[in-house]
């Protein structure tokens, strides 16, 4: 900010459609049969208009809180508790177009 103050911010992208995982058996099978399975799945979803959407959330912490927080706030293995720093929705990320090799997109 112009006055020299700042805040610490942690960003979270959460898929609007939820999270689905393959079973360990299916993942192992697909790794051998079709290693590009996820790339193709994403490409095909976008092609048919089933655009993947994520909501961007922010957690905001005052610098004075970071000085005495119970762990290093820069430790990427830790998540700031949502009860202490609630997720605040700020926007959406939508993949609505596939890249084209011809146009350099």
The whole model's pTM is what? 0.79
- The residues with which 92 forms a beta bridge, in sequence order, are 55
Tell me the DSSP string of 37-87.
HHHHHHHHHHHTT---EEEEEEEEE-HHHHHH-SS-TT-TT----TTTS--
Nearest-angstrom CA–CA distance, 43 and 104: 17
H/E element holding 8? strand 8-15
Residue range 21-60, pLDDT digits in tens: 999 999 999 999 999 999 999 999 999 999 999 999 999 9
Model pLDDT, residue 87: 97
Residue range 49-93, pLDDT digits in tens: 999 999 999 999 999 999 999 999 999 998 899 999 999 999 999
Tokens of 45: 């979803």
């Amino acid at each position: 900010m112009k006055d020299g103050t700042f805040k610490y911010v942690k960003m979270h992208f959460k898929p609007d459609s939820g999270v689905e995982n393959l079973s360990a058996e299916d993942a192992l099978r697909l790794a051998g049969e079709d290693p590009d399975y996820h790339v193709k799945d994403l490409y095909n979803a976008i092609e048919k208009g089933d655009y993947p959407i994520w909501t961007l959330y922010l957690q905001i912490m005052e610098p004075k809180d970071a000085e005495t927080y119970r762990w290093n706030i820069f430790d990427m293995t830790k998540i700031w508790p949502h009860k202490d720093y609630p997720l605040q929705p700020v926007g959406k990320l939508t993949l609505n177009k596939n890249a084209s090799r011809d146009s350099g997109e």
